[in-house]
């Protein structure tokens, strides 16, 4: 089923290949990201070239080098003025500070359509969707870390860890016990600073007001990546009781939507 809508994208490049690359790498991802915030399946975009014909009335490469291979029905949606403005804000953000997240999401959707449905192919696609979550979690935590360190609660917890370490070091002469105390304190401070990805995912999810079920799925995907998907030679087999490919794209979409919505609200002081 094809949408009746057409998106016009203009680019000025020296060659046709450069034009296709600019459209796919720079112009398409923000559009896909913005439309995805409406919910439902990630949109598929098929590129058609409009340009000059040769003296015989023919045009080379009318269709883009790629096009969607997945056919699906999409619910129609009539946008209110408010909804249209929000969509444009999300597109604007996806062109700027959300550009990397939008690009990662676009690459994952494209990979899903281009990759054979083998266990390895599915595993690689799940990993690509998880990269969207990982990037957003790291970005949100990085932006928020300085504010957290100025928080009185953070200071109290850090002081407690340091004071406990001082007591343990003064209490023993054993080098082994001193090393263990330092290691324990470092781990506690790392957790306080959200140095572990699982903590960053959970923190970002709460900051972006993402549903807890999506956060839990993101944490499951993180564990799956660490135990299976990121290891060379692994079978990339998705456990029967674990997250699926559908879970992966829905979770990536949820984090991307929350990320764009959060910054849209921040722009307007909400």
Pair 84, 11 in one domain: yes
Q: How many domains does the chain have?
A: 2
In terms of residue numbers, what domain contains 13?
A: 1-114
Residue 139 has which token pair? 């970005």
Query: Within this chain, do residues 7 and 101 fall inside the same structural domain, yes or no?
Result: yes
165 and 98 in a common domain: no
- β-pair partners for 63: 48
* Residue 75, pLDDT score: 52
pLDDT value of position 92: 85
In a domain, 188, yes or no: yes
Angstrom CA distances, 245 to 53, 80, 121, 124, 196, stand at: 42, 32, 11, 10, 24
Which residue in 117, 133, 147 sits closest to 266, CA to CA?
147
pLDDT at 212: 95
Question: Which portions of the chain are predicted below pLDDT 70?
Answer: 1-7, 44-54, 56-77, 146-150, 229-240, 267-270
**pLDDT value of residue 1:** 41
* Long-range Cβ contacts of 239-244 (<8 Å, 24+ apart): 243/126, 243/217
pTM reported for the whole predicted model: 0.75
- Say if residue 20 is in the same domain as residue 82: yes
């Amino acid at each position: 089923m094809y949408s009746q809508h057409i998106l016009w994208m203009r680019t000025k490049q020296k060659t046709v290949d450069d034009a296709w690359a600019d459209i796919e790498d720079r112009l398409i991802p923000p559009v896909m990201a913005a439309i995805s915030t409406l919910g439902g399946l990630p949109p598929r975009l098929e590129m058609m070239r409009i340009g000059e014909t040769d003296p015989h009335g023919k045009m080379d490469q009318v269709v883009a080098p790629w096009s969607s291979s997945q056919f699906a029905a999409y619910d129609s949606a009539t946008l209110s003025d408010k909804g249209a403005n929000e969509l444009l804000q999300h597109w604007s953000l996806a062109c700027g500070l959300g550009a990397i997240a939008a690009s990662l999401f676009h690459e994952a959707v494209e990979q899903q359509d281009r990759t054979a449905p083998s266990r390895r192919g599915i595993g690689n696609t799940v990993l690509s969707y998880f990269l969207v979550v990982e990037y957003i979690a790291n970005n949100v935590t990085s932006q928020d870390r300085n504010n957290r360190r100025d928080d009185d609660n953070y200071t109290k917890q850090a002081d407690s860890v340091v004071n406990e370490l001082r007591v343990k070091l003064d209490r023993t002469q054993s080098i082994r016990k001193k090393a263990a105390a330092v290691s324990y304190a470092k781990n506690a401070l790392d957790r306080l600073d959200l140095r572990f990805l699982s903590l960053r995912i959970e923190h970002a999810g709460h900051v972006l007001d993402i549903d807890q079920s999506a956060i839990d799925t993101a944490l499951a995907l993180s564990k799956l990546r660490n135990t299976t998907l990121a290891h060379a030679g692994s079978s990339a087999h998705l456990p029967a009781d674990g997250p699926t490919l559908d879970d992966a794209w829905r979770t990536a979409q949820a984090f991307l939507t929350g990320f764009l919505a959060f910054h849209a609200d921040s722009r307007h002081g909400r």
